Structure 1
Amino acid sequence: MAQILQTGTLIITLDMGPADQAFFNSLREKHFPAHANYLDAHITLFHKLPANEGSIPRTLTEFANRAPLELAVSNVHLMGTCVAYTLASGELKKLHEQMQKAFEPWLIKQDQQPLRPHITVQNKVTAFKAQQLHQELSKTFSPFTIQTTGFSTWKYLKGPWKLLDKYPFLPL
């Protein structure tokens, strides 16, 4: 799908399969403060690219010309006032490095760093509340895998995001 050029900030995420998306969305609905939960669960690959750069949609189309990725959900991670599920995949690491090279002229410092993929299920709470949820989720956690389905691009709207386009991976 061709993207209409926009002004502002472009965010790139890695999409999950419907069952995995529903699972993580339900955790966010249960544990994320309602006033701040205006996004579905997501895996951010790039936080700030120029939305008006015409080569980005073409490059994403090329990167999506591949089989879906399987990601290991390896643990529940506590990051101060945030609780997230850590994701692991050597294949995703390699793909992200290739994408970094392609997007290098526009990368902010945060997006130049090695990818630490995760799915946040609680944020914007006290450290105590985050620690409680981390302990609760860790008690029953067992590693599992999720499937990815492609990339999405989003326009940042000073809080909420607006979906711009989807770049599906090749079907299996």
Structure 2
Amino acid sequence: MFQDSRWVGGTWDLKQFQKDGVTHWDSVIDAEVRRRKWLEDNPESSSNEEPVLFDTSIIPWWAWMKRFHLPEAELLNGRAAMVGFFMAYFVDSLTGVGLVDQMGNFFCKTLLFVAVAGVLLIRKNEDIETLKKLVEESTFYDKQWQASWQDENSSSSKDS
């Protein structure tokens, strides 16, 4: 059974997470993450004798944003800035069009769009594999459809 002195009556005792009279939400999130990891590794059946009453909605939305979304946004913004700088330098070297003049050039705007789309779609290396699987899955049914017509056409040509 999960054991933590701050887990009382099926929920987190928020008074035990207070520092200077204010609840330290990052500590609550850390404790809940550890509890869920423990439950993944040690599944236990639920019972009415000891129900889980904790609801993640008691943690304010801004605590979740600060904890999980802002670091991801910083990572994406940093990558976008690096890719953008490289693309501007690359286009300048390739075409001789300076950074300011690139804003009015269709080719440069297209490269900017491709760079931003790439940063948004490929956040981690695993995303490349996910996109490959998505492409395979999207073409799978088309391949099946084509194969069904090929079988029908080949059997009708044999009958003739």
Q: TM-score by structure 1 length?
A: 0.19
Judging by fraction of residues, say which structure has more strand.
1
Q: Bigger relative contact order, structure 1 or 2, given CA contacts below 8 A and separation 6+? A: 1
| TM-score normalised over the length of structure 2 | 0.20
